[in-house]
Amino acid sequence: MKAAVLREINKPLEIEDVQHGKPGPREVLIRTAAAGVCHSDLHFQDGSYPYMLPAILGHESAGIVEAVGSDVTYVKPGDHVITCLSAFCGHCEPCLTGRMSLCSEPELQRGEDEPSRLAKGDEKIAQFLNLSSFAEYMLVHEHTVAKIREDMPLDIAALIGCGVTTGVGAVIHTAKVEAGSTVAVIGCGGVGLSAVNGAALAGASRIIAVDMVPSKLELARKFGATDVVNASECDPVEAIRELTSGGVHYSFEAIGLAATAQQAFKMLRFGGTATIIGMIPVGTMVELHGPEFLMERKMQGSNMGSNRFRVDMPRFVELYLQGRLHLDDLISKRIRLEDINKGMDDLRTGEVARSVIMFDQ
């Protein structure tokens, strides 16, 4: 199969012919239909987050089941599925206490003494975040897939695999935004726009989108933003305090920078909560001042929207088909696998919400 392989940090991905294994007892082979190009992939390509190399990147995807292992009962060949990097074991403490997105049990990967799921001849290729979506096929554990209805377009469904689940989930699961509250979202890429949409679904009375790109701020209005702030023209903290008479109840940082994480905290009213969604690079320190905590302001992280993805993803599909999740506007470009490096470069400019690789093009 064709796949985009990362062999060196800060180098382009290479389109290569690689092999996938046969499904083990609890594994599923999926023919990839579509894969979103997510900013998280860029973090690993540029070395902000270390990973084993060589690896096939990609983690936001949807496809059709080709084959299943002997013990798999959840899906069958022909089923349409969305994948999720938050593989769960179902029996560890995080899983049993309803925090499945925090599961990290090693049993979800193959052991060192087993054949690699991905290889090129005798060379092992690392599987990225349980998935490796930048490839024509994915061989995964059954606990990385959510079955969905077949009338859902798979290019749109792929977005639910990461960006939508992360952004909407941070609002409704991690922060538990209440109806009537005020919300600010910093960063209007795919995840940030999904957080804006999530805040609208949650019934927030005022949703303020913050970015430096005018076109993305206009797009945020389609997703439910009631106000927008161009951070290149003003201090976003002061602007939001002025718009809300003192600050918002909830803020969300969807870029991954220390400066914007600090802004997210400073724009809170007393008792407010800042949720950091963006992937702040390893080793980066976020500075907060002690007195700012005295009035019960909080800062917290969110991992993949604190998801329960087998429940959440089919629900998000229904919300899209009802016209309440605005996923069509998230796709800026549809590209081929061979165009992956252009798709990664587009992320660096900040001009696109999402490029989606279509594997039938």
Which residues participate in catalysis according to the annotation? 38, 40, 43, 59, 162
DSSP 3-state assignment of 148? strand
Residue with tokens 């490096």: 341
- Cβ-count burial of 333 within 10 angstroms (0-12 exposed, 13-18 middle, 19+ buried)? middle
CA distance 236 to 228: 10
For residue 222, CA distances in Å to 194, 207, 314 come to 11, 12, 23
Q: Do residues 357 and 343 touch, judged by C-beta distance below 8 A?
A: yes
Q: Do residues 252 and 170 touch, judged by C-beta distance below 8 A?
A: yes
Residue with tokens 């329960």: 308
Within 10 Å of residue 146's Cβ, how many Cβ atoms?
Answer: 27
Q: What is the DSSP letter of 153?
A: -
